[in-house]
């Protein structure tokens, strides 16, 4: 009886933009892991923070990628943004964590965290499986049901 629930918030996001963004994130993570180039991690931390705190339309990477998609005349395919917003929060946590570890000089820990982040991003890009979306769905199906049951209990006359 463990059903998976898909959270909905009725905001829409272009799935092609998110896929393109994830591909760029994977490339920047590989630059850090393979070439020890640290600047992309700071760029990701700032961009994810802007994306989460202010929205996709204010993210410099998303704006640039949106212009590329417009130039290539890719028709948007929109999906509900709830799970993608949660995934962006997880991505912000990872990217800020890696940037802070780099800044403090803990390069081994930064590379381990970046590798975990890369695996999650590549699962989205290559397998069309969003680990963060799955985590949110499981979280809400487990804890959301308990809260609903508690609310129904207290709503009785």
- Cβ atoms of 71 and 3 within 8 Å: the answer is no
Q: What is the pLDDT of residues 19-43, one digit of tens each?
A: 899 999 999 999 999 998 999 999 9
Rounded percentage of the chain residues whose pLDDT exceeds 90: 45
pLDDT for 156 equals 45
- Farthest-apart Cα atoms in the chain, separation: 65
Helix axis angle for 15-35 and 107-127, nearest 10°, is 150
Q: Is the pLDDT reported for residue 120 higher than 70? A: yes
Report strand pairing: 12-14 vs 78-80: antiparallel
Q: Is the pLDDT reported for residue 125 higher than 80? A: yes
Candidates 32, 35, 157, 148; CA nearest to 95 is 32
Q: Is the pLDDT reported for residue 1 higher than 50? A: no
């Amino acid at each position: 009886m463990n059903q998976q629930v898909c959270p909905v918030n009725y905001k829409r996001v272009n799935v092609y933009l998110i896929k393109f963004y994830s591909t760029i994130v994977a490339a920047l993570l590989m630059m850090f892991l393979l070439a020890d180039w640290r600047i992309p991690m700071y760029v990701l931390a700032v961009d994810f923070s802007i994306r989460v705190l202010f929205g996709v339309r204010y993210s410099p990477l998303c704006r640039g990628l949106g212009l590329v998609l417009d130039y290539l005349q890719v028709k948007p395919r929109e999906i509900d943004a709830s799970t993608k917003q949660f995934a962006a929060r997880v991505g912000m946590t990872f990217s800020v964590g890696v940037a802070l570890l780099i800044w403090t000089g803990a390069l081994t820990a930064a590379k381990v965290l970046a590798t975990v982040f890369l695996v999650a991003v590549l699962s989205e890009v290559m397998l069309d499986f969003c680990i963060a979306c799955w985590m949110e769905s499981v979280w809400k199906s487990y804890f959301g049901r308990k809260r609903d049951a508690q609310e129904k209990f207290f709503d009785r006359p």
